Amino acid sequence: MWHGASWTFIVWGLYHGVLVAAEHLARIHQWDDRRFAVPRRILTLLLIMLSWVIFRCKSMADIGGFLQAMLGRFPTSIFRQRC
């Protein structure tokens, strides 16, 4: 309720909860092997960037359009995409 009653905040909360549960179940924090350090950081960065798109956009349609622009489907429209 702090940020409003938008569906995007509910989706963001569910997304965040699923990630926390997946990390807990996979026990990722126990992987001390240095071979996985860079891939883990890249994956974390990508998941965090996705979560900020969900958090920032005002509607579910905006999320879809912005993600399509980020993935290169509409490479020239990413700067015109409003969230």
Gap between the Cα atoms of 26 and 32, Å rounded: 13
**Any idea which residue has 């924090």 for tokens?**
29
Selected catalytic residue, list 3, 16, 24, 29: 3
Contacts of 12 (CB under 8 A, 6+ apart): 51, 54, 55
User: Does the active-site annotation cover 29?
Assistant: no
Q: Which residues are catalytic?
A: 3
